[in-house]
């Protein structure tokens, strides 16, 4: 471990020489000075761990030396030597932050070494205590920084946090760009981006090492002159860099106020690390939001494309569903136009035509809901009526392939909270899925029943079924057991059901074909 450095200041050459010899023998790096004014200049040029100073000296009082030493080197330990150990002297020493009091004359060198060791220990403990007290509020600061995920708001929040915890009115966030630095956020007086200040920022960013500059005391003269020009008394610059981010954090105190201490630098280091993690956290949140947005857009596009594909396969049935009531209306109007019919009979034909037109309008309304991309409003849905409508819509297509529909449906089912067009799409997908696996005809059993917390509907076909080893993959995108299949129908249906809080799975049916079980929860339909 590196030996501590000590500056001895005593106007008596014999005492100064004695202290130098005793402490050098004990392993300390010692410099002694009998001129207090010269000692103050030395403190402004070189850092020391401890100041050993006599109180009563001509020209400059020992307490004045201590005051100047603390301004130049705030963390320096101080041990006072005096031959006049009064209570008043002790109180004044404590008020100036002195770490120990040694009475002269001290007969043994061991007494001096022990006093120096104790002063250094006490000073270290004080600094550790101050550091611990400063760390406590950091938990609140960390929580504040991590809770903000918007980078635009995070930059000024970091600057405000620096000012609050370092007790300084000036702070800034500089971000390195290809052609220099950009001042992203600031508070109070900050460094300009040109000349020596810009060079200082570039040096900190490239070296990756912080810089602490106090206007008084040891330090780089050009940097101290810059602070004086800006009317600043102390400044710290700390680099932060990770994942493409290269920036410098800046904190400064006004001229005439307390200098920054080593504890302040350590605290700033912690704030810089926390700020870096908060920035990385915000970046990841932004990436995640962008990813979720893309996934949502992809799902909507998938939903629309599969909906159009299902509609294309339903074209023949839709035409049949529309043509039948139109023919009925035409026949009714033709018959109602006969002059030999009584008025009551004409009225019946007109009423029948009106009823068929209402059925046609209802069918077209449902089809418009099915095609409309933005129709995603949750509402109370009569699942049974919707299921009967889809079965009617697909009956022509199923009949042409000689597929018999066996419906085991109750008189009524409880309503569910759902998007009507999306539930309609699930029914169409499951029915057309059965249609595709039975090219030579067969049967489709549709069963529905009410459960305590929702509605269950099963679609079972008499096709070849799904092999056991493939059942875990049937809801995955682009997986299909049919030649030329898109592999999207069941995926879209599964995603819709999941979004409604329900389930769609394949279960064991009564035969060898596939049996899909759809469950939709009631939801709040009050």
441, 359, 367: which is closest to 397 by C-alpha? 441
pLDDT in tens, 382-433: 999 989 988 887 887 888 899 999 999 999 999 999 988 788 888 988 998 8
Same domain membership, residue 120 and residue 15 = yes
CATH code for position 157: 3.30.450.40
Confidence of residue 162 (pLDDT cuts 50, 70, 90): very high
78, 67, 49, 56: which is closest to 12 by C-alpha? 56
209, 265, 256, 259: which is closest to 236 by C-alpha? 265
Strand partners, 518: 457, 504
Report if residue 462 sits inside a domain.
yes
Report if residue 501 sits inside a domain.
yes
Report if residue 28 sits inside a domain.
yes
Same domain membership, residue 518 and residue 376 = yes
Domain extent for 175: 138-285
Q: Which two tokens stand for residue 339?
A: 């002059």
Same domain membership, residue 262 and residue 117 = no
295, 302, 312: which is closest to 488 by C-alpha? 302
Please report the pLDDT score of residue 486 as a whole number: 46
Same domain membership, residue 276 and residue 176 = yes
Same domain membership, residue 344 and residue 423 = no
d(CA 231, CA 181): 22
Report if residue 309 sits inside a domain.
no
Same domain membership, residue 391 and residue 336 = no
Report if residue 305 sits inside a domain.
no
The last residue of a domain, from among 133, 165, 196: 133
Please report the pLDDT score of residue 484 as a whole number: 46
Same domain membership, residue 342 and residue 377 = no
Question: Roughly what angle, to the nearest 10 degrees, separates helices 262-313 and 343-371?
Answer: 140
d(CA 399, CA 98): 102
The last residue of a domain, from among 81, 106, 133: 133
Same domain membership, residue 398 and residue 354 = no
Report if residue 492 sits inside a domain.
yes
pTM over 0.85: no
Report if residue 395 sits inside a domain.
yes
Distance of CA 11 to the CA centre of its chain: 62
* Burial of residue 481, with CB atoms counted within 10 A of its CB: 0-12 exposed, 13-18 middle, 19 or more buried: middle
**Contact 80/102 with Cβ under 8 angstroms?**
yes
Same domain membership, residue 515 and residue 402 = yes
**Contact 254/170 with Cβ under 8 angstroms?**
yes
Between strands 232-242 and 100-103, the pairing is unpaired
Helix or strand holding residue 506 (H, E): strand 503-507
Higher-pLDDT residue of 332, 229: 229
CATH code for position 101: 3.40.50.2300
- Residue 253 phi, psi dihedral angles, 5° rounding: -110, 150
State the average pLDDT over residues 497-505: 90
Higher-pLDDT residue of 345, 156: 156
Q: What is the mean pLDDT of the chain?
A: 83
Please report the pLDDT score of residue 363 as a whole number: 63
Same domain membership, residue 394 and residue 363 = no
* Burial of residue 521, with CB atoms counted within 10 A of its CB: 0-12 exposed, 13-18 middle, 19 or more buried: middle
Strand partners, 520: 455
CATH code for position 517: 3.30.565.10
Same domain membership, residue 381 and residue 499 = yes
Between strands 100-103 and 77-82, the pairing is parallel
The last residue of a domain, from among 100, 133, 166: 133
What is the tally of structural domains in the chain?
Answer: 4
State the average pLDDT over residues 174-200: 90
Report if residue 265 sits inside a domain.
yes
CATH code for position 325: 1.10.287.130
State the average pLDDT over residues 295-324: 64
Determine the 3-state secondary structure of 476 from DSSP.
Answer: coil
Strand partners, 180: 177
Higher-pLDDT residue of 95, 155: 155
State the average pLDDT over residues 239-245: 84
Same domain membership, residue 497 and residue 409 = yes
Question: Roughly what angle, to the nearest 10 degrees, separates helices 195-207 and 221-229?
Answer: 130
Please report the pLDDT score of residue 526 as a whole number: 64
172, 244, 238, 182: which is closest to 205 by C-alpha? 238
State the average pLDDT over residues 494-523: 89
Confidence of residue 517 (pLDDT cuts 50, 70, 90): very high
pLDDT in tens, 205-225: 988 899 999 888 777 888 999
Distances (CA, A) of 118 to 22, 24, 83, 164: 16, 17, 19, 33
């Amino acid at each position: 471990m590196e030996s501590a450095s000590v500056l001895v200041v005593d106007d008596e050459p014999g005492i100064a020489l004695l202290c130098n010899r005793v402490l050098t023998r004990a392993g300390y790096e010692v410099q002694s000075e009998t001129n207090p004014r010269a000692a103050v200049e030395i403190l402004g040029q070189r850092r020391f761990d401890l100041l050993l100073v006599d109180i009563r000296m001509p020209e400059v009082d020992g307490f004045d030396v201590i005051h100047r030493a603390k301004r130049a080197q705030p963390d320096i330990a101080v041990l006072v030597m005096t031959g006049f150990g009064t209570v008043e002297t002790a109180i004044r020493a404590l008020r100036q932050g002195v770490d120990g009091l040694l009475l002269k004359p001290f007969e043994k060198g061991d007494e001096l070494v022990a006093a120096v060791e104790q002063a250094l220990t006490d000073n270290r403990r004080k600094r550790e205590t101050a550091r611990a007290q400063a760390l406590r509020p950091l938990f609140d600061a960390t929580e504040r920084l991590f809770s903000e995920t918007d980078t635009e708001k995070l930059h000024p929040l970091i600057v405000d946090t620096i000012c609050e915890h370092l007790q300084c009115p000036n702070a800034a966030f500089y971000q390195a760009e290809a052609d220099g630095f950009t001042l992203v956020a600031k508070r109070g007086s900050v460094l300009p981006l040109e000349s020596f200040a810009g060079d200082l920022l570039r040096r900190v960013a490239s070296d990756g090492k912080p810089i602490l500059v106090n206007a008084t005391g040891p330090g780089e003269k050009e940097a101290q002159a810059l602070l004086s020009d800006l009317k600043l008394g102390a400044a710290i610059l700390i680099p932060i860099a990770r994942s493409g981010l290269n920036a410098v954090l800046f904190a400064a105190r006004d001229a005439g106020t307390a200098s920054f201490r080593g504890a302040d630098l350590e605290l700033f280091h912690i704030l810089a690390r926390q700020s870096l993690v908060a920035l990385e956290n915000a970046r990841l949140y932004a990436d995640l939001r962008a990813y979720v947005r893309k996934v949502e857009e992809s799902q909507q596009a998938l939903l629309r494309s599969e909906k159009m594909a299902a509609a294309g396969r339903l074209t023949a049935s839709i035409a049949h569903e529309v043509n039948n009531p139109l023919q009925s209306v035409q026949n009714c109007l033709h018959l109602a136009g006969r002059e030999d019919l009584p008025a009551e009979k004409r009225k019946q034909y007109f009423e029948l035509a009106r009823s068929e037109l209402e059925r046609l309008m209802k069918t077209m309304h449902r089809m418009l809901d099915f095609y409309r991309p933005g129709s995603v409003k949750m509402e109370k849905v009569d699942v049974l009526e919707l299921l009967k409508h889809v079965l009617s819509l697909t009956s022509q297509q199923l009949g042409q392939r000689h597929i018999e529909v066996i419906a085991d449906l109750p008189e009524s089912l409880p309503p569910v909270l759902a998007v009507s067009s999306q539930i309609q799409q699930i029914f169409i997908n499951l029915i057309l899925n059965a249609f595709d696996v039975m090219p030579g005809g067969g049967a489709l059993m549709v069963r529905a029943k009410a459960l305590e917390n929702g509605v269950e509907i099963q679609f079972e076909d008499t096709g070849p079924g799904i092999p056991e080893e493939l059942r875990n993959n049937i809801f995955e995108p682009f997986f299909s057991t049919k030649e030329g299949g898109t592999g999207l129908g069941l995926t879209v249906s599964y995603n819709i059901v999941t979004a409604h809080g329900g389930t769609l799975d394949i279960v064991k049916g009564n035969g060898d074909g596939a049996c899909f079980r759809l469950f939709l929860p009631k939801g709040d339909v009050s």
